[in-house]
Amino acid sequence: MPRGILNLGILAHVDAGKTTLTERLLYCAGVIDAPGSVDEGTTQTDTLALERQRGITIKSAVVSFTVGDTTINLIDTPGHPDFIAEVERALSVLDGAVLVVSAVEGVQPQTRILWRALQRLCVPTLFFVNKIDRRGAGYDRVLADIAGRLTQAIIPMGSVSGLGTRGAAVVPEYTDDTDDRDDTAARARLAELLAEHDDAVLAAYLDDQAALPSGWLREKLAGQVRDTLAHPVYFGSAITGAGVEALLHELGGLLPAAGQDAGGLPSGRVFKVGRGPAGDKIAYVRMFSGTIATRDRVRFGHDRDGKVTAISVFADGAAVRREEVTAGQIAMLSGLADIRIGDMIGAASQDADGHYFAPPTLETALVARDPGGKPRLHAAITEIAEQDPLINVRQDDIRQEIYVSLYGEVQKQVIEATLATEYGIEVGFRETTPICVERPVRTGTAEEILHAPANPFLATLGIRIDPAPPGTGTAVRLAVGHQSVPLYIYKNMESFAAAMEDYITRTLHQGLYGWQVTDCTVSLIRSQYSVADGPPSARGPLSGPQDFRKLTPLVVMAALKRAGTVVCEPVHRFRLETPADTLTGLLPVLARLHVVPAVAATRDSWCTLEGDIPVTRVHELRQQIPPLTRGEGVMESSFDRYEPVRGPVPTRPRTDDNPLNREEYLDRVLRRGVREKDVRQTGG
């Protein structure tokens, strides 16, 4: 019998209990004989030595189990904000998600960030309110918190007895067998909630509340979950197991199964890259359509390919060899040496690479302790970057230093430990500095004219840069007609537009001060090429692609110089809950860190401070909290926005051919001639 497949993500703020819940679900599904423990390092996911030592999840992991006729591939994700990149990759392969919220802490900063991403991607989402056994657990309070800070469209799926005690238990509502029970009131409540988006439910509700068929209501509920109009909320405890059985049995019924178009052209997405025992690369792929079999040659990314040498799928707790993987499934593919995280595989190898979270905001230079160890370090960190491309390894030409981008100190420690244990390389770090951005301040235009004496390239290009609102990123627009575009090179306007966008965005990787340029619209306002039988102004040797590619950086940078840029640094928003009597010690420290907090709330003898803090100070403040608050203060912070830097403007060493300096650029680029491979572009 063909089975439904559900690719399910478990997401939450750090420590909410995702891994413990995963363990409990595996146990309830009969995959393991006893649930393991995060605290003892005996879980099915969290298998890395570092994860076990630290008791946190660092990498996403896949496990599989079966409930009824649904196979569930569960992806347990890390909650620590330093590892948000792992969540980002998992998001694009999910059919549904469980967002875990702690019954004690309620909605936390990362919960909101994850929720927003799930909403944007329209991932059907259930809530699991965990830790109902812990002292201080809430029910109404947590529901109000979710309703107030995430969504009103929630449907509590049960009530809790013994809340906040080890014996806390869940009484499910609206389960499959509710027809057997007399719970007219519960069904009426459900109908009331569903009626908001469904006139048929409203009519039935108004007609006869007592006669509402529960099977029909559940179908309606599943429909609204699928359309992300409704979000059932389950309560429970991953530790005691309360409420987990109920959640397990609802997953297949309420969340939509994966499409299984096995006949179509193969297409899938790589959401994780790991290494096998022999160091060989393993790509974790979610298939959207078609089938891939062992020994198939597949295309991925834009222009790479490889032959699949082995395929494993996840089945009831273990990886199992298969001859093929088909639509809807998740598999591990071996043999694809050039594959990277985020690649689309197969027919649709177009990269729809959206980013749902803020990019890393810190960077640091890595230094091998062994002076001769730089080449090995470079090879090792490049391999690590295959699994985590957002660390964005760069080497600057002048100082030959290896830079990595980071989300925070914990990620840095993990990189250090990974290099030491897996590669035997001891490293140190230079100072961690913020990754700034540059925003254009006014409109700037520039052009280079074909056949003008100072223009060595066979092309005319005119570019205008306009500032755009903060947070909107960069957009490239074409404002030229097809008669001014060399269509013998670019085939059509779309591919010309794509090529220009590529040249322009590469140039904008480093602005006037060396930082990524953002929040602007770049318009191509003039273009011309040269051809033997053209009008006098455009007559001459035929233009080639290199003329457009090499001229673009020059014109873009000239326009940017006229626009001017302001360097902006990343700023976090933080929230600190602390006993009120610790404020006298805390406030001077905050002042020294240039933080001006506001008191957001006071409750009993507790106080909540909120404020902005430059990203570079977050770690320092975090370290100061425990000694200053007797270990009771809880600080949370997350990236909020970029703000103009006050004081000296930081610059970043250039890694490109520096189109900022016209003479130097022309000298280097022309001297190198037209040998394609030698042209190094920014950020490449």
Residues 48-107 close enough to bind Mg ion by CB under 5 A? 57
User: What are the Cα distances from residue 86, in Å, to 14, 52, 341, 375, 479?
Assistant: 13, 18, 10, 27, 38
259 binds, among ligand GTP, Mg ion, none (CB under 5 to 8 A by kind): none
Among 11, 38, 98, 190, binds ligand GTP (CB under 6 A): 38
Q: Should residue 238 be labelled a site residue for ligand GTP when binding is judged by CB under 6 A?
A: yes
| Helix, strand or coil, per DSSP, at residue 238 | coil
130 binds, among Mg ion, ligand GTP, none (CB under 5 to 8 A by kind): ligand GTP
Q: Should residue 110 be labelled a site residue for Mg ion when binding is judged by CB under 5 A?
A: no
Q: Should residue 411 be labelled a site residue for ligand GTP when binding is judged by CB under 6 A?
A: no
Q: Which stretch binds Mg ion (CB under 5 A): 10-18, 130-138, 141-149, 650-658?
A: 10-18
Among 59, 89, 134, 464, binds ligand GTP (CB under 6 A): 134
Among 3, 4, 14, 154, binds ligand GTP (CB under 6 A): 14
**Residue with the two structure tokens 């990343």:** 570
Q: Should residue 142 be labelled a site residue for ligand GTP when binding is judged by CB under 6 A?
A: no
Residue placing its CB nearer to ligand GTP in the complex, 14 or 649:
14
Task: Give min distance, CB of 46 to ligand GTP, in A.
Answer: 7
Using the 8-state DSSP alphabet, how is residue 414 labeled?
H
Task: Give min distance, CB of 19 to Mg ion, in A.
Answer: 3
Among 7, 19, 624, 655, binds Mg ion (CB under 5 A): 19
How far apart, in whole angstroms, are the C-alpha atoms of residue 185 and residue 188?
5
Residue placing its CB nearer to ligand GTP in the complex, 134 or 439:
134
How far does CA 259 lie from the centroid of its chain? Answer: 23
Residues 564-583 close enough to bind ligand GTP by CB under 6 A? none
Q: Residue 226: which H helix or E strand, with range?
A: helix 214-226
Using the 8-state DSSP alphabet, how is residue 178 labeled?
G
Residue placing its CB nearer to ligand GTP in the complex, 9 or 486:
9
| Helix, strand or coil, per DSSP, at residue 241 | coil
Q: Should residue 17 be labelled a site residue for ligand GTP when binding is judged by CB under 6 A?
A: yes
Q: Which residues of 19-49 are buried (b: 16+ CB within 10 A; e: fewer)?
A: bbbbbbbbbbbebbeebbebeeeebbbbebe
Q: Which ranges constitute the DSSP H helices of 629-681?
A: 662-671
Task: Give min distance, CB of 46 to Mg ion, in A.
Answer: 6
Residue placing its CB nearer to ligand GTP in the complex, 36 or 96:
36
Binding mask 102-131 for ligand GTP (x = CB under 6 A): ----------------------------xx
Q: Should residue 360 be labelled a site residue for ligand GTP when binding is judged by CB under 6 A?
A: no
Q: Which stretch binds ligand GTP (CB under 6 A): 13-21, 245-253, 479-487, 659-667?
A: 13-21
Residue placing its CB nearer to ligand GTP in the complex, 131 or 550:
131
Name the token pair of 13: 């703020």
Among 9, 35, 36, 78, binds ligand GTP (CB under 6 A): 78
User: What are the Cα distances from residue 368, in Å, to 271, 373, 378, 400, 408?
Assistant: 30, 6, 9, 12, 20
Binding mask 187-226 for ligand GTP (x = CB under 6 A): ----------------------------------------
How far does CA 52 lie from the centroid of its chain? Answer: 24
Q: Which residues of 408-427 are buried (b: 16+ CB within 10 A; e: fewer)?
A: bbbbbebbbbbbeebbebeb
Residue placing its CB nearer to ligand GTP in the complex, 56 or 114:
56
User: What are the Cα distances from residue 260, in Å, to 74, 168, 264, 287, 356?
Assistant: 18, 40, 9, 9, 26
Task: Give min distance, CB of 382 to Mg ion, in A.
Answer: 27
Q: Should residue 18 be labelled a site residue for ligand GTP when binding is judged by CB under 6 A?
A: yes
12 binds, among Mg ion, ligand GTP, none (CB under 5 to 8 A by kind): ligand GTP
Contact 239, 132 (CB under 8 A): no
∠ CA(480), CA(482), CA(488), 5° rounding? 130
Q: Should residue 130 be labelled a site residue for Mg ion when binding is judged by CB under 5 A?
A: no
How far apart, in whole angstroms, are the C-alpha atoms of residue 11 and residue 338?
29
Q: How many other C-beta atoms can be found within 10 angstroms of the C-beta atom of residue 491?
A: 9
Among 8, 25, 32, 57, binds ligand GTP (CB under 6 A): 57
Residue placing its CB nearer to ligand GTP in the complex, 57 or 543:
57
Task: Give min distance, CB of 339 to Mg ion, in A.
Answer: 26
Contact 519, 474 (CB under 8 A): yes
14 binds, among Mg ion, ligand GTP, none (CB under 5 to 8 A by kind): ligand GTP
Binding residues with ligand GTP: total (CB under 6 A)? 23
* 3-state helix, strand and coil shares in percent for the chain, rounded to the nearest 5: 30, 30, 40
Task: Give min distance, CB of 63 to ligand GTP, in A.
Answer: 13
Q: Should residue 18 be labelled a site residue for Mg ion when binding is judged by CB under 5 A?
A: yes
Among 20, 92, 108, 637, binds ligand GTP (CB under 6 A): 20
Task: Give min distance, CB of 423 to ligand GTP, in A.
Answer: 24
Q: Torsion over CA of 632, 633, 638 and 639, rounded to 10 degrees?
A: -150
Contact 145, 99 (CB under 8 A): no
Contact 125, 153 (CB under 8 A): no
How far apart, in whole angstroms, are the C-alpha atoms of residue 119 and residue 153?
12
How far apart, in whole angstroms, are the C-alpha atoms of residue 194 and residue 153?
9
Q: What value does the CA radius of gyration of the chain take, rounded to a whole number of Å?
A: 28
How far apart, in whole angstroms, are the C-alpha atoms of residue 395 and residue 365?
9
Kind of pairing between the strands at 330-334 and 433-434: unpaired
Residue placing its CB nearer to ligand GTP in the complex, 134 or 286:
134
Task: Give min distance, CB of 98 to Mg ion, in A.
Answer: 13
How far apart, in whole angstroms, are the C-alpha atoms of residue 54 and residue 410?
10
Contact 545, 621 (CB under 8 A): no
Among 108, 237, 518, 638, binds ligand GTP (CB under 6 A): 237
Q: Which residue is nearest to ligand GTP (CB)?
A: 79
Q: Under the rule (CB under 6 A), what is the footprint of ligand GTP? A: 12, 14-20, 38-39, 55-57, 78-80, 130-131, 133-134, 237-239
Q: Under the rule (CB under 5 A), what is the footprint of Mg ion? A: 18-19, 57
